[in-house]
Amino acid sequence: MRALVLGGTGLLGRVLLEEWSGDEITGIGSGDADIRDRSQLRAYFHRCRPKWTVLAAAYTDVDGCEKEGRLAHDVNATGAANVALECREVDSRLLFVSTDYVFDGAKSVPYEINDEMNRFSVYGESKAEGERLVRGILPQACIVRTSWLFGANGRCFPNTILNAAGTGKKLSVVDDQMGRPTYNRDLARAIIKLCRAGAQEIVHASNSGSCSWYEFARYLLRAAGFADLPVEAIPTEALSHPARRPKRSVLSLASLEQYDIQMRPWQDTVADYIRERTALHGSHQPIPPRIAKTA
């Protein structure tokens, strides 16, 4: 099987290329082709003729999207539509990676795939519009919504927490937002299985179990040897982020389990994450920030 991964230098795309074996895989980043420009995409699609295309490229800076709404829409919505159009041209299946932020977080139980999208951030709006455009062009496309993605190399909550812990500073973390942390390598393995299974429509894919950001931080710190570092639990309102966050964006995993795919509890991924982080950067060494608007 030939597969094309867009966003191959990002937090998910990089490990997707590393995890995918036994098939002919091509990965490209924004430096190779800008998904906002169909002419740049067309050359790769016609050269690769992929059976599957995974769209993991996105503008994921939630607060940055509030400030740069046009860019967010151009990348996450128009860019997604461009990819879908190119997939249709070469008869490629498409798996589009989306987000829990298409929901407002008002439900007290996990979100199902057919729940109405009710986003209230520019990022969530742009990804929801991307979903609508993709499904309008390719009704059988697979849309994989995930949440709280993290990995050893890239911008994510665990790296921010452990970088700060390395300075010895007291941390303050919100304790009233609930979700499912998702280890990038586990999600990559699930995506590969979904492609090989010919998945269609919407699938929710995250590690099992849920927690607050505060609980996540405390678990990370204990696992990394910072158990005695003070961590203050604070409400969302104590922060002044430009973008609103859903208070409870836990995704139901029933749709993933229909493909006989189960992702382990998020707690079981932390040791793997820390080992990988240590191998890449040394024990508790701050990871240099990597700022990228498209992956």
Maximum alpha-carbon separation in the chain: 57
- Measured from the Cβ of residue 223, the count of other Cβ atoms closer than 10 Å reads 16
CA-CA distance, 250 to 94, in Å (whole number)? 25
State how far the Cα of 162 lies from the Cα of 158, in Å rounded to an integer: 6
**Catalytic residue numbers, as ranges:** 123
